[in-house]
Amino acid sequence: MSDQLTTALLEADQRDLRRAARALLRRPLLLARDDPETFRVVRQQATPLRDWFEQNSGWRLHIDAEVARLFKRVGMAPDGTHPAREPRSELPFGRRRYVLICLALSVLERADQQITLGRLAEGIIVAASDQRLAAAGVTFELSGRGERADLVAVVRFLLELGVLARVAGDEDAFMRETGDVLYDIERRVMAVLISAARGPSTITAESFAERLDALVAETEPASAELRNRATRHRLMRSLLDEPVIYYDELSDAERAYLTAQRALLTARAGELTGLLPEIRAEGIAMVDRRDELTDVRMPEIGTDGHVALLIGEELAAHDRDVGVEELRALVRRLAQEHRSYWRRSTREPGAEIALVEHALERLGALRLVRRDGDRVHPLPALGRFGLDTPTIAQFAETLA
């Protein structure tokens, strides 16, 4: 085999490895039926992918004939900025919908191979009658349109995950109480759905914060070598999964390790994924030129995306804490300035409240701002969206 052919084959294999890794980072629960070609590449690259993720991030990779599951663990403590969302409206889930997800999965675990939405609702109503849920203020009786909307949002979320596959019917008919829906239950997906350091049912803590900490907490390593490996794993997870790592949010051990091994860690992450390191005095961001490996984009087309960008520019320009009411006043003014481009509803009284909330959710999820009650604090990475006054150089024109 010629050297040129060998080189070409190695480059093609490296491209496939990067494609497979990016696919799993973008969608850690990947189904063969959703994208057969990409799934084929992931299966072909299973061994090097498993080795890389295990060595560099401590993430476990499961692949079978139908499902590929990258069991991610967080590098930083969850901050609530990436909630589950209803697939159509993209509105974040509230407390009742999260509870309904858990109850729905418990019903599906005991169900036959197929189930209707009506039967699923009946099972959830029975499960929700538990006195402990009632004591916590959670009820579900399918008694109104709001509860039906919550159930349908949860079902569509499970459809998107691949836990359910629609066979016949439509959720909108169920909402109107004019029809039902039949689903297949995907057991293979359910079996690999939960990614946690321990089973949720084994946690005995009472408060939500304590239960969440216990769900993601990992055993403290005993030796210096194992502690270094755990630190490397946490940092690599954050490089791959977080919009930005700020040095002042790291522990002393993490900051020291990252300072010493920054070039190696960013090079390994970039080689696998194609992400480019953006290194500043305050921290590191791995930038995706294709803008694919994110669930929140900035900038983004549409009115909401434009509002977020303009608020970001305003915060970056002043580099100070700003009150939410001040941002609402800004958006009221901008709605008039951009009336030709923004949707008409943005000029209605009170529309600025939702626009500002949506923008701050986006900026917070990207770790560009931190919100404390009615005050918004810009974070260093927001500076990349700031605009400065252009400087025009003056040149004296000379004649030969």
Structural domains in the chain, sorted by start: 3-71 (no CATH), 74-217 (no CATH), 224-287 (1.10.10), 303-385 (1.10.10.10)
Express each pLDDT in 147-178 by its tens digit.
Answer: 999 999 999 999 999 999 999 999 999 999 89
Using the predicted structure, report yes or no on whether residue 393 has a pLDDT greater than 60: no
Q: In this predicted structure, what is the pLDDT of residue 399? A: 41
Where residue 274 falls among pLDDT bands split at 50, 70, 90? very high
- CB of 383 closer than 8 Å to CB of 316: yes
Q: In this predicted structure, what is the pLDDT of residue 291? A: 87
Share of the chain above pLDDT 90, in %: 71
Using the predicted structure, report yes or no on whether residue 368 has a pLDDT greater than 60: yes
The pTM assigned to this predicted structure is 0.88
Which position has the higher pLDDT, 360 or 298? 360
Q: In this predicted structure, what is the pLDDT of residue 388? A: 60
Q: In this predicted structure, what is the pLDDT of residue 110? A: 94
Using the predicted structure, report yes or no on whether residue 396 has a pLDDT greater than 50: no
Separation between Cα atoms, residue 149 and residue 249, nearest integer Å? 39
C-alpha neighbours within 13 Å on the C-beta side of residue 264: 8
Using the predicted structure, report yes or no on whether residue 323 has a pLDDT greater than 60: yes
Where residue 390 falls among pLDDT bands split at 50, 70, 90? low
Express each pLDDT in 207-244 by its tens digit.
Answer: 888 888 888 888 888 898 999 999 999 999 999 999 99
Q: In this predicted structure, what is the pLDDT of residue 294? A: 87
Using the predicted structure, report yes or no on whether residue 204 has a pLDDT greater than 90: no
Which position has the higher pLDDT, 202 or 358? 358
Express each pLDDT in 37-81 by its tens digit.
Answer: 999 999 999 999 999 999 999 999 999 999 999 999 888 777 778
Using the predicted structure, report yes or no on whether residue 286 has a pLDDT greater than 50: yes
Q: In this predicted structure, what is the pLDDT of residue 344? A: 93
C-alpha neighbours within 13 Å on the C-beta side of residue 259: 11
Averaged pLDDT, 10-27: 93
Most confident of 11-15, 138-142, 377-381: 377-381
Separation between Cα atoms, residue 46 and residue 352, nearest integer Å? 48
